[in-house]
Amino acid sequence: MTANTVTEQLTAAGRAIEHDSFSIIDAEVGPHAYRADQWPVVRRMIHANADFDFNGLTDFHPQATDAALAAMLGGASRIVADVEMICVGLSASRLAHFGLGTHQFISDDDVIARARAEDTTRAVQAMRKAHRLGLLDGAIVGIGNAPTALIEVVRLIRDEGARPALVVGMPVGFVSAAESKDLMAELTEVPWIVIRGRKGGSTLVVAAIHALLGLAEARQREAA
């Protein structure tokens, strides 16, 4: 089988280390119930944090990976994130291969002003701005830092008809983090990937999206 070239490490030494890491995870993880298209996502998340708890805590909407790959290969043009860290963490060359750009609005002056005026968080207003600009529909939305951003995305889907292609909902924390992910996982209108409980973070969102990009490249090669 021909290996991925775009979504792999750029040097042979780097690829060997990453592949050895994946082999170690496969050997040590023990039993899991993830499908063949889901396990690479969970494995890369474990790789990002050396935390085997993500075997079990990670939950998928049944159509999550298919929806992600369809978006990446079918002309989705954007990833909308709650914080800049996600945008910076994603590989520019991998995104460029699929024509994907990134957007985040957490530090925009108008977002800060609205958050102060309405006594909400910047994360809430950032998601509202993305929706006003028409950026949520068809996008891959990554939430790794702010539970209030994920709660707002759920509201926008339920009440205002927003339709992202996929929501990767993994905010970390002690206030509303677990609850926000449970709310997301109740939705049937939009596919999602979540981490149950308090664990999460922007690094895990990046890892999950990178894994999905790898799956998309493999499918792209199969179709060539």
**What are the backbone dihedrals phi and psi of residue 79, each rounded to the nearest 5 degrees, phi first?**
-120, 125
Annotation says 97 is catalytic: no
3-state secondary structure (DSSP) of residue 142: strand
The dihedral formed by the CA atoms of 8, 204, 202 and 147, expressed in degrees to the nearest 10? 150
Distance CA(55)–CA(45), nearest Å, equals 9
DSSP code of 194? Answer: E
Rounded Cα distance between 169 and 151, Å, is 10
Residue of 19, 47, 103, 131 with catalytic role = 47
Which segments within 42-131 are labelled E, that is strand?
A: 58-60, 78-81, 101-103
Q: Which residues belong to the active site?
A: 47
